[in-house]
Structure 1
Amino acid sequence: MRQTVIDIEGVLLDEGITVTFAELRQLCGSSAQALEELVDEGVLHPRGGAPEQWRFSGCEVGRARRLLRLQRDLELNLAGAVLALELVEQIEGLRARLRLLERGVDR
């Protein structure tokens, strides 16, 4: 009988945490160039003037990881991945609003 072992790795980030550009690269498993493109396109909004001074919030780490995963898994170019990310975020926002409305009706 053959057993299959699956390693699951995750990073739990607090929304209040900030990370450096180097830490973001490590957390995303991405190149500096790919992440700089996300900043250039306005997907990420770091604090600080230059890449070595940039600081990213925990939310932005999650956003970058999600976008890069969409790009990789769906084989999308950057523009397509940004659009997909925006649509996913919109859907999540609408679902959250719907849950709030449903709670109000249930009372």
Structure 2
Amino acid sequence: MPEQPVLIGAPLDDACLTLEQLCSACAVTPEWVCSHVLEGRLHPPGDRPSQWRFGSGELTRVRQIRRLEIAFDAEPELAALVADVLEELDRLRAQLRRISPG
């Protein structure tokens, strides 16, 4: 039997994006991200923008907030609040599936 190649990779949850990579992936400006961080709507680790790293959860959150801001002409605070509620709903649904799978 021929030997199969071994694929090595990192799970998406472990991947971190820089500010520039996040902006590119989400079609937002660094100013948009900085504003949302300063207002407490995003929480990257690090003290300065050059130190910020964003995981897959933050990537999803940025896309969701931006989509809400555009689609509903929502204020950033409202878009972030709706994103919080949707994240909590997803978390509760996952918990319910673990408790009663079926």
| TM-score category (smaller protein) | 0.7 to 0.9
* Runs of at least 4 residues off by over 6 Å: none
Q: Which amino acid aligns with 1:83?
A: L
TM-score norm. by structure 2 comes to 0.79
Pick aligned residue for 1:63 from 61, 64, 68: 61
Unaligned 5+ runs, structure 1: 1-12
Q: Residue 18 of structure 1: SS of its match in structure 2?
A: coil
Q: Tell me if structure 1 keeps the 8 A contact 2:41–2:77.
A: no
For the residues of structure 2 that align with 1:57 and 1:92, how far apart are their CA atoms?
18
For the residues of structure 1 that align with 2:40 and 2:97, how far apart are their CA atoms?
30
Residue in structure 2 matched with residue 73 of structure 1 by the alignment:
71
Normalized per residue, the structure richer in strand is 1
Worse-matched range after superposition: 73-82 or 43-52: 43-52
For the residues of structure 1 that align with 2:89 and 2:54, how far apart are their CA atoms?
24
Residue in structure 2 matched with residue 44 of structure 1 by the alignment:
42
TM-score norm. by structure 1 comes to 0.76
Unaligned 5+ runs, structure 2: 1-10
For the residues of structure 1 that align with 2:62 and 2:28, how far apart are their CA atoms?
10
Q: Residue 17 of structure 2: SS of its match in structure 1?
A: strand
Matched-pair identity in %? 30
Residue in structure 1 matched with residue 19 of structure 2 by the alignment:
21
Q: Which amino acid aligns with 2:59?
A: V
For the residues of structure 1 that align with 2:100 and 2:51, how far apart are their CA atoms?
44
Q: Residue 88 of structure 2: SS of its match in structure 1?
A: helix
Aligned-residue Cα RMSD (Å) equals 1.7
Residue in structure 1 matched with residue 4 of structure 2 by the alignment:
none
Q: How many residues align?
A: 92
Matched, 1:102 2:100: yes
